[in-house]
Structure 1
Amino acid sequence: MADEKDEAFEATYHRGPVILRGPMIPSDTSTGNLLAPEADTDWLHMDPWRVLRIQAEFVDGFGALAELGPAVSVFGSARTPRTDPMYRAARHVGRKLADAGVAVITGGGPGIMEAANCGAAKAGGKSVGLGIELPHEQGINKWVNLGMTFRYFFVRKTMFVKYSRGAIIFPGGFGTLDEAFELLTLVQTHKVARTPVVLFGTDYWRGLMGWLEGTVLEEGNISPLDPELVMVTDDEDEAVRVALSEIVR
């Protein structure tokens, strides 16, 4: 009996890099499981499969943008109407960036994003839209000539940061604020190369900047913002100049 038990532990089963012996040896095989008919599709919604989808989004995003060249991101509200002065300003910014030979990257939606894409596309430039899967998302606007829709916000934000050398942030809501603080955090903690950030619209951003440079700074919770990297302006040409400062020297 003892010899039989010893023999059981001598048997070795290899499942990829894992070694299994004795009672740990399975009755199935990986190839058999792969080829077996599967009636239950719950695995599609399990975390291991999500990891593969996340990986695929990174691969697709890197593949689509790797040869884009120098680019500036333009953020802002999807709700800005075409009659709003900010829409006209964003369109002007998109055109000026394209004239400088720089790609314009937006979230691909309507409002400010559409305006910047429109300016870039009409100037014959690279007009990029990185959309996001949302319940009420209106899809990629018609002025995008290179577009991709993402499932995951964090993958999408990685693309914005990786492929942009500057950012112009127009008035917007939670999404715009999220993108603004993401960039400001990375810039202040030196996690990215020098990336100038322009907040366009002094009236809109005055309260936020006053709170950051007042209450938050005085409490010792942040370091002073680098004025060469973070600027608030109402001048479209100045916004473009600052956003391009790490590209055009």
Structure 2
Amino acid sequence: MIGMSKASREERRQGASLLRGKFLPDSTYDERLLDRRGSTEWLHMDPWRVLRIQAEFVEGFGQLAELPPAVTVFGSARTPSDSPDYALGESLGRALAEAGYAVITGGGPGCMEAANKGARLAGGVSVGLGIELPFEQKLNDYVDLGVEFRYFFVRKTMFVKYACGFVALPGGFGTLDELFEALTLVQTRKVTSFPVILMGTEFWSGLLDWIRETLVGTGKISPVDLDLVRVTDDVDEAVGIIVEADQDRQLGLRDL
């Protein structure tokens, strides 16, 4: 057997990792932790980001775990306060609160503010889950419980985990992102008894036509997948869909 030099056999364990050769560090984690000198680049390295992500999950779970049954409402941050869409969002927030649901939004202005406003003025629980953006966007004044996130995917988890339904008011890329995220989770049965409702039939009709004609028409999704989304202009109908699905879910849990 060909022998190996002592230097080539040197190794070090670092947690679950085994390091040899050129991967051997010239100092230990304790040394680097306790050394006040040197670069602060470690703050931006991936292992540190993992801890920051973990901390965001812990904070979100801790703040939201004791919410009453909740509904996530999304819509454009650019909706002016004197528009019909804003009025629709406010009416929806009020009706959800009166039905006993907390209202969760992205915490921003526009349709999100409208839903938070309706919930708060009705005496309900108004929640805003904000996100760090390159441009300033503070939580709106109608949020009673606000949590700010660095990472979109952590925030998305909170939107779904603590909600029993999802309502999309007219909106842009952010609203579409959340909409299709929710639809994918329902389609793949990652979440069950989770209604997805689009409010504003005129606004959403073009997208639904494209889904029906192009996605279903070319076999990209099944015809039954169209049943995963409900469309209405009526606030009472939207709340009724959520209540019915919530009751079915509770019955299913009791039957387990």
TM-score by length of 1: 0.89
Which structure: larger Rg?
1
Q: Which residue of 2 aligns with 1:73?
A: 72
Residues in 2 aligned to 1:198 and 1:12: alpha-carbon distance in whole angstroms? 57
Identical aligned residues as a percent:
60
Residues in 1 aligned to 2:225 and 2:12: alpha-carbon distance in whole angstroms? 60
Question: What code does the residue aligned with 1:188 have?
Answer: Q
Residues in 2 aligned to 1:171 and 1:199: alpha-carbon distance in whole angstroms? 8
Residues in 2 aligned to 1:183 and 1:123: alpha-carbon distance in whole angstroms? 27
- Change over 3 Å in CA distance of 1:110–1:23 after alignment to 2: closer
Residues in 2 aligned to 1:23 and 1:187: alpha-carbon distance in whole angstroms? 47
Q: Which residue of 1 aligns with 2:211?
A: 212
- Change over 3 Å in CA distance of 1:143–1:211 after alignment to 2: same
Residues in 2 aligned to 1:218 and 1:74: alpha-carbon distance in whole angstroms? 30
Counterpart check, 1:88 vs 2:56: no
Please, which moves more after superposition, 169-178 or 40-49?
40-49
SS at match of 2:245: coil
Q: Which residue of 1 aligns with 2:195?
A: 196
Please, which moves more after superposition, 60-69 or 222-231?
222-231
Counterpart check, 1:149 vs 2:148: yes
Q: Which residue of 2 aligns with 1:97?
A: 96
SS at match of 2:230: strand
Question: What code does the residue aligned with 1:168 have?
Answer: V
- CA offsets, 1:90-130, max 9 Å, x none? 11110111111111000000010000000101111110000
SS at match of 1:246: helix
- Change over 3 Å in CA distance of 1:14–1:102 after alignment to 2: same
Please, which moves more after superposition, 6-15 or 228-237?
6-15
- Change over 3 Å in CA distance of 1:34–1:117 after alignment to 2: same
RMSD: 2.4
Q: Which residue of 2 aligns with 1:50?
A: 49
- Change over 3 Å in CA distance of 1:147–1:8 after alignment to 2: same
Q: Which residue of 2 aligns with 1:173?
A: 172
Q: Which residue of 2 aligns with 1:140?
A: 139
- Change over 3 Å in CA distance of 1:245–1:25 after alignment to 2: same
Q: Which residue of 1 aligns with 2:253?
A: none
Q: Which residue of 1 aligns with 2:162?
A: 163
Question: What code does the residue aligned with 1:85 have?
Answer: P
Contact 2:187 2:228 (C-alpha < 8 Å) held by counterparts: no
Contact 2:8 2:21 (C-alpha < 8 Å) held by counterparts: yes
Residues in 1 aligned to 2:204 and 2:213: alpha-carbon distance in whole angstroms? 14
Q: Which residue of 2 aligns with 1:223?
A: 222
Contact 1:72 1:244 (C-alpha < 8 Å) held by counterparts: no
- 1:59 CA drift (Å): 1.0
Contact 2:107 2:129 (C-alpha < 8 Å) held by counterparts: yes
Q: Which runs of 5+ in 2 are unaligned?
A: 249-256
- CA offsets, 1:145-182, max 9 Å, x none? 11111111111111111111101100001001111111
- Change over 3 Å in CA distance of 1:13–1:235 after alignment to 2: closer
Counterpart check, 1:123 vs 2:122: yes
Contact 2:193 2:246 (C-alpha < 8 Å) held by counterparts: no
- 1:241 CA drift (Å): 1.2
- Change over 3 Å in CA distance of 1:74–1:8 after alignment to 2: closer
Question: What code does the residue aligned with 2:198 have?
Answer: L
Please, which moves more after superposition, 34-43 or 91-100?
34-43
Instruction: Work out the number of aligned pairs and report it.
Output: 245
- 1:243 CA drift (Å): 2.5
Please, which moves more after superposition, 153-162 or 19-28?
19-28
SS at match of 1:245: helix
- CA offsets, 1:50-88, max 9 Å, x none? 111111111111111111121101000001111111111
Contact 2:183 2:228 (C-alpha < 8 Å) held by counterparts: no
